[in-house]
A = this chain, B = another copy of it.
Amino acid sequence: MGSDQGFTTISSSPSSTTIYPVILSGGAGTRLWPASHAACPKQFMPLVSDRSMLQETIARTYDAPGFKRPLIVSSAAHGALVQQQLVAAGHGASAILLEPEGRNTAPAIAIAAAWIAARDPSAMMLVMPSDHVIADVAAFRTAIASAMPAAQAGRLVTFGIQPHYPETGYGYIAKGEPLELGVGLHAVAEFVEKPPLAQAQAYLADGRHYWNGGIFLFGAGVLLDELARHVPGVRDAAVAAMADAAVDGDFLLPEREAFCASPNVSIDVAVMEKTDRAAVIPVDMGWSDVGSWNALWAVRGQDGDGNAIKGDAVSVDGAGNLIYVDGGPPVATLGLRDSVVVSTAQGVLVMPRTRSQDVRAVVDSMKARGFLS
């Protein structure tokens, strides 16, 4: 596993352009506490299958025609975990970049772009969060193929997730005029922040709006050019940090001072909302960001009573529950409805599924009381 080994041969891709999967693995959310926590964020956990979400993300394009080994962008705190999970899954990486600190997605993507552009500025980057579920990988790959001509023509393509309910927790993308470059491709009319419910319902009804899933396809050189145009500080910091990057075993460490000079900004705000090159490819691929216990319940297999159970747990006279045991005591539930019960060594969480968005409040309360380290 090093920066010069493990490349696949490019063969039957619709075009012969190389694609680097760029997997963003720097997050450390609390929304899935007590399973996910600072020492082991969600992407490293086998939440949905027997593989971690990072391993699933890698596998989605691994050994597929046209794809290089992935670039993984993570944090210094989690480099060892990334490497363990690569080894466990038999995966190799083109490179593992460890950010000295988290500065949001624009700098993370920019250092990956700098690494790739130094080797092949015309290579494509398929940017993917490491902690999303995509149930229909074939649909995803079809969308990638549809997006390729536009990306090769210098477009920054975002994947517009077909909404199936009026989610208020995501940003939306409004599609504009169709583009001739590929099937389904449209210009982007507008990026919209998380909408209120009535707005989300209108978006769902109008057939023009898609969820912004944070998945992108663009050329490495194109992305650096657009960064230079709209947020030059991000580009300059990334290029400088990678020019002085240190090698530490299998890891590449961007130079701290240069990297930390970058603005802290998302790729959406930095580039996608400003560029005139944005395009959207709609896709319906069983996507979920698994951003809450309720979302995990929805994507996991359920029994006839709507119970999703992982680990040593029993539901008697229960329905609609997610019961998740990983490292904590076994769980017995009786007469429980539409609830979440999680048992780990860190703690036990119990709530109605409808309260899944509010986990942070209870974690804060536990910390304030000294019950969590």
B-binding residues in A (CB < 8 A)? 33-34, 312-314, 316-317, 328-336, 339, 341, 343-352, 354-355, 358-359, 361-363, 365-366, 369, 371-372
Contacts and interface: CB of A to CB of B under 8 A. Distances in A.
B365 A349 contact: no
Contacts of A362: 314, 316, 332-334
23 contacts: A33-B332, A314-B362, A314-B366, A314-B369, A316-B362, A316-B365, A317-B355, A328-B328, A328-B348, A330-B347, A330-B371, A331-B347, A331-B348, A331-B349, A332-B350, A332-B362, A333-B351, A334-B351, A334-B362, A335-B355, A335-B358, A336-B350, A343-B343
A104 to B, nearest CB: 28
In the complex this chain forms, how many copies of it are found? 2
B361 A349 contact: no
A313 to B, nearest CB: 8
Contacts of A336: 350-352
A316 B349 CA distance: 11
Contacts of A365: 314, 316, 332
Contacts of A33: 332
A249 to B, nearest CB: 35
Contacts of A351: 333-336
Contacts of A34: 329, 332
Nearest to A330: B371
Contacts of A349: 331-334
A343 B352 contact: no
Given A332-B363, A332-B365, 6 more contacts: A314-B362, A328-B328, A329-B329, A334-B351, A335-B355, A339-B350
A359 B354 CA distance: 26
Nearest to A363: B332
A347 B363 CA distance: 21
A316 B361 contact: yes
A202 B279 CA distance: 76
Contacts of A354: 335
B347 A332 contact: yes
B334 A371 contact: no
Nearest to A332: B362
Contacts of A333: 349-351, 362
